[in-house]
């Protein structure tokens, strides 16, 4: 039997060591993620798009409305979306050169965090980057929350990222966040990132952030020609994270919105 004094000494040593050991945070990653979410989720918007789609072969046309995710990148309301989300015609054409699909975007609205609907128009399309830039038709009197693309940083293989999205109407268009890792870093022909294959709520147009708060980029689709491939169209398209610097460079070319009145007064193209 151990002496009571020895037991007391052992207990005292254990308590002393416990005070020297720094406390372990239950989920540090989740806490950092929540901080990034709180600062940036207001810049993630639902964009309502009405498109008219016509098949070149049959000539039949149909109109449909869809909700896609956009990211506000300037307090004036300039918003970026994936071009393929509102006009998939170029993606189809790249994957299948014989595809005949004509898409006309007839109406666009940006839905802000407070439920405000802003009639908007596509002011710039970048087919190579799969980006479309939208501006409100009427200049805003109050700046809106925006992601600052100048505060960006690159990622490395297996880095953890936080992605933000807005869910569909069935989920009340609630904000959602997902943690994803970088499974590959591609450097040619240009730098972009491949997220892991885990199914999450992330969709095209969603922003991706590093856990230090810097923005990594925007989710878009990359497509390559199926010529000489396996014949499986899915092999020619993948979801990527386009670096924020590339998005910013393209955004600087976006003109101002013309608005409905300016369109009426503008001379018709011959």
Query: For residue 28, what are its two tokens?
Result: 């540090």
* Model pLDDT for residues 236-269, shown as the tens digit of each residue: 789 999 999 999 999 999 998 776 545 544 444 3
Q: Residue 6: is its pLDDT beyond 70? A: no
CB 206 within 8 A of CB 165: yes
Q: Residue 270: is its pLDDT beyond 50? A: no
Start-to-end Cα distance in the chain: 104
Q: Residue 82: is its pLDDT beyond 60? A: yes
What is the mean predicted confidence (pLDDT) over 200-218?
94
What is the mean predicted confidence (pLDDT) over 100-123?
90
Residue 100's pLDDT is: 72
Rounded to an integer, what distance in angstroms lies between the CA atom of residue 174 and that of residue 136? 22
Length of the chain counted residue by residue:
270
Residue 230's pLDDT is: 53
Give the rounded distance of the alpha carbon of 106 from its chain centre.
Answer: 23
What is the mean predicted confidence (pLDDT) over 67-87?
95
Rounded to an integer, what distance in angstroms lies between the CA atom of residue 130 and that of residue 205? 10
Identify which of 2, 259, 59, 39 has the alpha carbon closest to the alpha carbon of residue 162: 39
Mean pLDDT of the chain: 84
What is the mean predicted confidence (pLDDT) over 148-157?
97
Element (H, E) at 250: helix 244-251
**What is the CA angle 79-83-88, rounded to 5?**
150
What is the mean predicted confidence (pLDDT) over 227-235?
57
What is the mean predicted confidence (pLDDT) over 168-181?
92
Q: Residue 24: is its pLDDT beyond 60? A: no
Could you say which architecture CATH assigns to the domain 37-251?
A: Beta Barrel (2.40)
- What ranges do the domains of the chain cover? 37-251
- Which pLDDT band, with edges at 50, 70 and 90, does 26 fall under? very low
* Model pLDDT for residues 98-109, shown as the tens digit of each residue: 667 788 899 999
Please tell me which residue, 242 or 21, carries the higher pLDDT value: 242
For the chain, what percent of residues have pLDDT higher than 70?
Answer: 78
Rounded to an integer, what distance in angstroms lies between the CA atom of residue 224 and that of residue 95? 6
Residue 268's pLDDT is: 44
pTM of the model: 0.81
- Which pLDDT band, with edges at 50, 70 and 90, does 223 fall under? confident
Query: For residue 244, what are its two tokens?
Result: 């924020």
CB 123 within 8 A of CB 77: no
**Range from 16-30, 64-78, 166-180 carrying the lowest mean pLDDT:** 16-30
Q: Residue 8: is its pLDDT beyond 80? A: no
């Amino acid at each position: 039997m151990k002496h009571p004094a020895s037991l007391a000494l052992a207990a005292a040593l254990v308590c002393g060591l416990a005070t020297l050991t720094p406390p372990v945070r239950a989920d540090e990653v989740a806490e950092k993620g929540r901080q990034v979410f709180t600062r940036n989720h207001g810049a993630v918007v639902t964009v309502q798009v009405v498109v008219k789609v016509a098949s070149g072969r049959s000539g039949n046309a149909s109109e449909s409305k869809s909700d896609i995710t956009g990211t506000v990148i300037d307090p004036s309301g300039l918003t970026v979306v994936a071009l393929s989300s509102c006009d998939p015609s170029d993606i189809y054409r790249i994957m299948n050169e014989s595809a005949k699909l004509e898409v006309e975007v007839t109406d666009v609205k940006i839905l802000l965090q407070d439920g405000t609907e802003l009639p908007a128009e596509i002011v710039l399309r970048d087919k190579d980057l799969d980006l479309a830039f939208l501006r409100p038709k009427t200049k805003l009197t109050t700046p809106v929350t925006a992601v600052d693309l100048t505060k960006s940083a690159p990622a490395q293989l297996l880095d953890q990222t936080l992605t933000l999205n807005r869910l569909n109407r069935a989920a009340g268009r609630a904000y959602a966040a997902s943690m994803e890792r970088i499974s590959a870093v591609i450097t040619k022909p240009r730098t972009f990132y491949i997220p892991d294959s885990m199914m999450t709520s992330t969709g095209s147009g969603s922003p991706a952030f590093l856990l230090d708060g810097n923005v990594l980029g925007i989710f878009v689709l990359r497509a390559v020609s199926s010529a000489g491939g396996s014949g499986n169209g899915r092999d020619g398209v993948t979801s990527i994270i386009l670096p924020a610097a590339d998005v910013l460079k393209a955004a600087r070319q976006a003109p101002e919105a013309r608005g409905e009145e300016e369109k009426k007064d503008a001379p018709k193209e011959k």
